[in-house]
Amino acid sequence: MQDTSMIPTFIVNLFKETLPEEQPEIFESKIPVEGHEGAYYFGRFHPSGKVLVVREDGSVPFFEEVEPVVERVLQYESLKKSNDLLYVLLTGEQEMYQSLVQMLEEIKNHYEEHMDLFPKEEFQRVTQTSHVLFVQQGDLEKANEELNQLASNMYRNHEITPSNLMKLKALHISVAQLFQKQILTYNKTTQDERVVVEYLYRHTPIWKFNWRGVLRDLKSVQKQIATGLSKELLEDSTVTHLFSKGASLSQEEKEAVMDQVVNHKTEVVMELMKELEHDLNQV
């Protein structure tokens, strides 16, 4: 049994609360939650509609008994949020994408083993898309490197010739097309992701409570993603301006600033792609 000494008392008590007089209604699908010898179910209390993990006899298990499921769901949520930002901001390294793909596969295997109604087809498409985007990210980094190298040579060696300018223009268009390709690829699985998230909402009680603060820091991949995003954002002049007030900002204000950053970056990228697409049509 895991040590719960670091878990806030009010959270632990959520799993120790006294059951109401009526027994909880067990879902007809009999979806089990990972446990020991006995089965665990997602039970709904009537008439409140409250959803909790319950044992087969209707009693409420301790927090640590269902923590594995809780942690997996949080890993999925946090990784997807970070991954979405990577696609929107068009940043990130291959190692981050590879780690995301591996984590998606781990979560898929976990839920397939323990939940027979897991939306396998939708999740498989989401995972396949992550693989495709991982490959596309490699192409994008290669094109960006070629673009930067040409631009550097042109200015360092004073080779700003018509032919080099045409090459530079072609590379800019190529990079913009790769950006657009990533966005289009990602958008294809938007509905599938919604199905998976709705499944987690429906069948996992973690969504009913705010437990994020009680779990350990997630795996290093999330720290890598966060570090990569922070570095990219801090180098952006818009972010520097928005965060000029520094520590005087409240958490709510900081979140609002981040929304502005994401929206700003998205608008800039979209505008760039429109301009380059127009240029492409003129070639």
Q: What is the pLDDT of residue 191?
A: 75
In a domain, 239, yes or no: yes
In a domain, 169, yes or no: yes
In a domain, 41, yes or no: no
Q: What is the pLDDT of residue 163?
A: 73
Q: What is the pLDDT of residue 184?
A: 72
Q: What is the pLDDT of residue 16?
A: 43
Q: Are 196 and 123 in contact (CB under 8 A)?
A: yes
Global pTM exceeds 0.75: no
Number of domains in the chain: 1
In a domain, 50, yes or no: no
In a domain, 109, yes or no: yes
> What is the three-state SS of the chain?
CCCCCCCCHHHHHCCCCCCCCCCCEECCCCCEECCCCCCEEEEECCCCCCEEEEECCCCCCCHHHHHHHHHHHHHHHHHHHHHHHHHHHCCCCHHHHHHHHHHHHHHHHHHHHHCCCCCHHHHHHHHHHHHHHHHHHHHHHHHHHHHHHHHHHHHHCCCCCHHHHHHHHHHHHHHHHHHHHHHHHHHCCHHHHHHHHHHHHHHCHHHHCCCHHHCCCCCHHHHHHHHHHHHHHHCCHHHHHHCCCHHHCCHHHHHHHHHHHHHHHHHHHHHHHHHHHHHHHHC
Containing domain of residue 266, as a range? 67-282
Q: What is the pLDDT of residue 43?
A: 59
In a domain, 27, yes or no: no
In a domain, 246, yes or no: yes
In a domain, 93, yes or no: yes
Q: What is the pLDDT of residue 167?
A: 78
For the chain, 283 residues long, the average pLDDT of each consecutive 10-residue run is 43 42 47 50 58 64 54 53 49 53 62 56 72 72 80 73 75 76 72 69 46 35 47 49 51 62 55 51 45
